């Protein structure tokens, strides 16, 4: 392992390239990133509303619902309880306050999203601190210049940490996921915390081991074996001889002990009180691992580069440029944390975005260490690519919104109309003003790049992060009413509860047929409709398709009384029916 600054490194940098990035800019970027799209919208299917439904159930029913996640009476035997605990506590603490300003339902929805602020703070603070610690190390320092002028270790580490933070904010795939009430924001946060714990152990093994053990246990309580296994394997490999923490193996036992204690503190009472839930939870975890089909692997290979854009090309550059330093901590630690999620995906039957998300943090860290190895001309080209790319996305969002409002351009308007059938167009002027302010901020950022020609190596990452955030801001202001219309079940849930009020007799229960988990969760969240698992219930809420109804293949076709039919107008296929059948 390289340990001397005299050995040539691929990093070439002067002090001017590490000029300090404004802390105000970083704070503003982070604040806009997490607040935009977090509030003032409905929960969307599937993971977003399912997570909220487990929180609502815990608050309403208490008892066992706090120990094992449920959606009403349905055992939601997957993931873990930690994100549910955080959301349920936030609902209990803050809903009464929010009810002073809005309805009880909207107050509950807003309160449930407050933990996302915590997950975001854990993620960003862990990335920055962990990268800073690695960037200050001797192995990571740039080549000493003949006449001096290279940056001090703390300046270099700060610049790399700033770039890593901006790169995770600029990662396309996680921006929506960080705003939903699911386990994904929490698992990303605890992986970042595990990364920081590993980096901290290099200098302060006691505190690092405690942080690492806590992060591993929290990851398990967040997403079970599916989410925790890649993080645990990465952490374990760090302690092998020759690995960055090979000389800290004595601290592996305390970290593992803390992790195990956290897991057993939940698992033992859960197993004792609900064997049915824990048996199904084990089945869910076990069945997730296996040999994926060629089509599933092809889907992963197709989607993963888009999900990790723009960090993965830079991460690969870092591995190539630092190939002689693969055992050095600043490369080895993020490399292990990015490799094991990728390896585990090849042994998972249906890997998707929650699994992809575990590659986002280490990819951003590796990408940051690629920046000081790149030639100045190449870095400038990337700056202009970010300017052109996000100027185009900003213009596209505005053009689509204009087409939605005015019908021009005609072809774009027709394409949008097919996806928003039945939507009543209107303009929210406060949202438009926010969107205009965001667009103006992007123009100012581009103007800053054109006129000042900053020397800071973080300038490209600032442009990428700023461009993605502005695009996201435009989407969640200009397009939020249309997105809610397309993705929310609020209206159809209200229709169903009105039909029940008119047709449900005293004492009659309701069961379901073909109803998806996301739809069940939506009906519970919006109107507290809690379905039963009882074959004697005379009322049935059925989810089917217009095609099945047309050809008579839908269940209960012709054998039940149809009391109500409803659907989301934007969905051309999905349809719901309220049926009455004779008691057996």
Q: How confident is the model at residue 482 (pLDDT cuts 50, 70, 90)?
A: very high
Please enumerate in sequence order all residues whose Cβ is within 8 A of that of 198, keeping only pairs 6 or more positions apart, or say none. 130, 208, 212, 235, 238, 244, 245, 333, 337
Reply yes or no on whether the pLDDT at 156 is more than 60: yes
Segment 28-37 shows an average pLDDT of 97
Distance of alpha carbon 68 from alpha carbon 65, whole angstroms: 5
Distance of alpha carbon 195 from alpha carbon 211, whole angstroms: 9
Nearest to 4 by CA among 154, 136, 141, 155: 141
Please enumerate in sequence order all residues whose Cβ is within 8 A of that of 20, keeping only pairs 6 or more positions apart, or say none. 155, 158
Nearest to 363 by CA among 345, 396, 340: 340
Q: At 541, is the secondary structure helix, strand, or coil?
A: strand
Q: How confident is the model at residue 512 (pLDDT cuts 50, 70, 90)?
A: very high
Reply yes or no on whether the pLDDT at 5 is more than 80: no
Q: How confident is the model at residue 477 (pLDDT cuts 50, 70, 90)?
A: very high
Which element (helix H / strand E) includes 567?
Answer: none
Q: What is the pLDDT of residues 172-191, one digit of tens each?
A: 999 999 999 999 999 999 99
164 touches 370 (CB < 8 A)? no
| Strand ranges (E), 67-200 | 70-71, 74-75
Reply yes or no on whether the pLDDT at 550 is more than 90: no
Distance of alpha carbon 348 from alpha carbon 326, whole angstroms: 27
Pairing of strands 539-545, 574-580: antiparallel
Q: What is the pLDDT of residues 355-412, one digit of tens each?
A: 999 999 999 999 999 999 998 888 888 888 999 999 999 999 999 999 999 999 999 9
Distance of alpha carbon 31 from alpha carbon 29, whole angstroms: 6
For the chain, how far is it from start to end, CA to CA, in angstroms?
75
Q: Helix 205-237 and helix 275-288: axis angle, to 10°?
A: 60
Q: Give the per-residue pLDDT at 365.
A: 98
244 touches 238 (CB < 8 A)? yes
Distance of alpha carbon 334 from alpha carbon 330, whole angstroms: 7
Q: What is the pLDDT of residues 519-536, one digit of tens each?
A: 999 999 999 999 999 989
For residue 486, how many other CB atoms are within 10 A of its CB?
Answer: 17
Reply yes or no on whether the pLDDT at 47 is more than 90: yes
Q: How confident is the model at residue 584 (pLDDT cuts 50, 70, 90)?
A: low
Q: What is the pLDDT of residues 72-102, one digit of tens each?
A: 999 999 999 999 999 999 999 999 999 999 9
Reply yes or no on whether the pLDDT at 446 is more than 60: yes
Q: Give the per-residue pLDDT at 455.
A: 85
Q: What is the pLDDT of residues 261-277, one digit of tens each?
A: 999 999 999 999 999 99
Q: What is the pLDDT of residues 300-344, one digit of tens each?
A: 999 999 999 999 999 999 999 999 999 999 999 999 999 999 999
Q: Give the per-residue pLDDT at 7.
A: 56
Q: What percent of the chain has pLDDT over 90?
A: 87
Q: Give the per-residue pLDDT at 2.
A: 42
> Domain limits of the chain?
23-368, 376-487, 490-580
Reply yes or no on whether the pLDDT at 3 is more than 70: no
Q: At 574, is the secondary structure helix, strand, or coil?
A: strand
């Amino acid at each position: 392992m390289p340990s001397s600054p005299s050995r040539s490194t691929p990093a070439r940098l002067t002090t001017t390239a590490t000029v300090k990035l404004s802390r105000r800019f970083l704070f503003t970027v982070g604040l806009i990133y997490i607040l935009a799209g977090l509030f003032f919208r409905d929960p969307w299917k599937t993971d977003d509303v399912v997570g909220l439904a487990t929180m609502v159930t815990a608050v309403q029913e208490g008892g066992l619902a706090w120990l094992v996640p449920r959606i009403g009476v349905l055992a939601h035997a997957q993931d873990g309880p930690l994100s549910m605990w955080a959301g349920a506590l936030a609902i209990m603490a803050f809903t009464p306050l929010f009810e002073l300003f809005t309805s009880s339902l909207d107050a509950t929805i807003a309160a449930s999203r407050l933990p996302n602020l915590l997950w975001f703070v854990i993620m960003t603070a862990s990335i920055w601190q962990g990268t800073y610690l690695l960037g200050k190390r001797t192995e990571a320092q740039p080549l000493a210049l003949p006449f001096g002028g290279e940056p001090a270790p703390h300046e270099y580490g700060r610049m790399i940490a700033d770039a890593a933070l901006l790169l995770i904010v600029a990662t396309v795939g996680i921006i929506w996921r960080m705003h939903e009430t699911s386990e994904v924001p929490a698992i990303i946060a605890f992986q970042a915390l595990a990364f920081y714990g590993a980096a901290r152990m290099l200098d302060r093994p006691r505190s690092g081991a405690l942080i690492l053990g806590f992060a591993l246990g929290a990851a398990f309580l967040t997403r079970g074996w599916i989410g925790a296994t890649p993080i645990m394997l990465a952490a374990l490999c760090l302690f092998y001889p020759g690995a960055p923490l090979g000389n800290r193996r004595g601290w592996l036992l305390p970290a593992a002990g803390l992790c195990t204690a956290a897991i057993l503190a939940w698992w033992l009472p859960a197993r004792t009180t609900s064997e049915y839930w824990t048996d199904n939870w084990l089945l869910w975890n076990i069945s997730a691992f296996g040999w994926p089909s060629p089509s599933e692997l092809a889907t992963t290979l197709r989607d993963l580069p888009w999900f990790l854009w723009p960090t993965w090309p830079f991460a690969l550059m870092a591995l190539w440029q630092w190939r002689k330093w693969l055992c050095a901590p600043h490369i080895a630690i993020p490399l292990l944390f990015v490799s094991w999620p990728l390896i585990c995906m090849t042994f998972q039957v249906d890997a998707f975005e929650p699994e992809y998300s575990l590659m986002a943090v280490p990819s951003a860290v590796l990408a940051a260490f690629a920046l000081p190895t790149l030639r100045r001309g190449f870095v400038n080209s990337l700056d202009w690519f970010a300017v052109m790319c996000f100027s185009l996305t900003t213009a596209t969002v505005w053009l689509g919104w204009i087409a939605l409002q005015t019908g021009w351009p005609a072809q774009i308007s027709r394409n949008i109309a097919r996806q928003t059938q039945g939507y009543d167009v209107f303009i929210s002027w406060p949202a438009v003003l926010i969107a205009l302010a965001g667009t103006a901020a992007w123009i100012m950022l581009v103007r800053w790049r054109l006129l000042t020609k900053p020397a800071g190596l973080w300038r490209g990452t600032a442009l990428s992060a700023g461009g993605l955030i502005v695009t996201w801001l435009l989407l969640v202001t200009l397009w939020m009413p249309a997105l809610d219309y397309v993705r929310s079940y609020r209206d159809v849930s209200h229709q169903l509860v009105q039909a029940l009020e008119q047709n449900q007799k005293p004492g009659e229960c309701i069961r379901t047929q073909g109803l998806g988990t996301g739809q069940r969760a939506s009906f519970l969240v919006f109107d507290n409709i809690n379905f039963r698992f009882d074959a004697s219930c005379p009322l049935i809420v059925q989810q089917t398709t217009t095609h099945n109804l047309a050809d008579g293949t839908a269940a209960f076709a012709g054998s039940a009384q149809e009391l109500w039919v409803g659907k989301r107008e934007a969905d051309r296929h999905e349809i719901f029916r309220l049926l009455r059948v004779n008691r057996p």
